[in-house]
Amino acid sequence: MKIYIFRHAQKAMDFSGDPDLTPEGHGQASTLLDLVLKNEMPKPTQLWVSPRKRTHSTFRPLSEQLKLPLVDQEALLEQQSDESLQIFRRRISNLLEKATEAENDVIYMCSHYDWVIEAMSVIPSETDLSDDRFSHWIPCQCVGFEISTDGMFKFLELKKVST
């Protein structure tokens, strides 16, 4: 099984609390679909998103083309104001553990900057995920892992999806 963790595409700047994507962000979402259709990225079997518009919009082209539902996962939300770092990390770990129970699937997860940064600190991997290349996440960047039977996350690739 494989898991690909994405930071959502470029978001619009507005004060709604739940902004959608910019035109460039929608372009990144289209480019992501093109990469999958060209087999430059594995075809997902599940699309997990946080309940925010920008994560839905990032994966919507994939969802529509591949006829896969967008599955809301509250656990993919940003850290909440009343949530300690310890509880936030536990929420991330629990979701990653849940994902590893899916056999022979390719799960794409779309979340937010802080979630992805913290995920790198809790993922069990032989690769040093505290390395500089995993410390800054531009919009629509992703990291892919293959999950071994012992629950270890084997690093596959780090990819920047740009228009």
Q: Where residue 32 falls among pLDDT bands split at 50, 70, 90? A: very high
Structural contact between residues 46 and 71, judged by C-beta atoms closer than 8 angstroms: yes
| pLDDT at 39 > cutoff 80 | yes
* Percentage of the chain modeled with pLDDT above 70: 100
Higher local confidence (pLDDT), 133 or 40: 40
- pLDDT value of position 102: 83
Beta strands at 106-111 and 141-147: parallel, antiparallel or unpaired:
unpaired
Give domain 2-160's CATH architecture: 3-Layer(aba) Sandwich (3.40)
Torsion of CA 73, 75, 79, 85, to 10 degrees: -170
How is the chain split into domains, by residue range? 2-160
| Arithmetic mean of pLDDT, 53-65 | 97
- pLDDT value of position 65: 97
Residues 85-132 pLDDT 10s: 999 999 999 999 999 988 889 999 999 999 999 999 999 999 999 988
